[in-house]
Amino acid sequence: MKKPLNPSAKTASAAHEVRIIGGEWKRTRLPVPDRGGLRPTPSRVRETLFNWLGQDLAGLRCIDAFAGTGALGLEAASRGATEVVLVEQASDLVRSLSVMVTKLKASAVRVERGDGVSALRQRGGQGWDLVFLDPPFGEDGNPSLFQAALQAASHVIHGAGEIYLEAPMVWTDEALEPFGLKVHRHGKAGAVAFHLLRPIAVA
């Protein structure tokens, strides 16, 4: 969930839905409420991400820390993730996520209302496999939020875990080093940069 950088740019919210693109629930429509600042991860970006991750996520434990429409977390669950937590602060989006989880009979998915960074901090040291970070961009890019989210997420994953990051800028290895992270893959789609991050191996 994030605010578009260019107010005049068309976003996925204009279509009022996005679709799960693979797995058990392929083509399932996810509603996109007409809500300022809500901008789901585009289908082509999700397709690239899940090509990076692999089509079968069986056995993985995932946290979608800024869930919004749930497109990332539900995509992971559709592809077999064993446990998925969708964290969202907005009450209307939490209700929408809960309805969708019930409709899909998604027993592996749990919806949690709360702050994404706080939810990650509470799970520090638990050794999760994958964290999705798609924080709101805000007018100034929300640098403090991104830093806090990366710091918290770096303590949630295990040594072979991964973090997916969407941001209004490309994050470099140098910028990620203070968090003990490095870039494994990255790409750009319009004004959005997306990354797959891994922990820096400790010698």
Domain boundaries, the chain: 12-199
pTM of the model: 0.89
For the segment(s) 12-199, the CATH number from 3.30.70.2860, 3.40.50.150, 3.40.50.1460, 3.90.1170.30 is 3.40.50.150
Instruction: Give me the mean pLDDT over the 90-114 stretch.
Output: 96
Average pLDDT over residues 59-78: 96
Structure tokens at 191: 């004004």
Residue 14 has pLDDT above 50, yes or no: no
Structure tokens at 47: 């397709």
Confidence check: pLDDT of 10 > 90: no
What pLDDT was estimated at residue 7? 33
130 or 7, which is more confident?
130
Residue 176: pLDDT band (50, 70, 90) is very high
What's the rounded Cα separation, in Å, for the pair 41 and 153?
A: 19
Given this model, what pLDDT does residue 169 score? 92
Would you place residue 73 in the very low, low, confident or very high pLDDT band (cuts 50, 70, 90)? very high
- Confidence band (pLDDT; 50, 70, 90) for 89? very high
Q: Is the pLDDT of residue 41 over 90?
A: no
For the sheet with 192-199, list strands across it.
Answer: 109-113, 83-88, 61-64, 128-133, 157-167, 192-199, 181-189
CA triple 116-119-123, angle to 5 deg: 140
How many Å apart are CA 203 and CA 201, to the nearest integer? 6
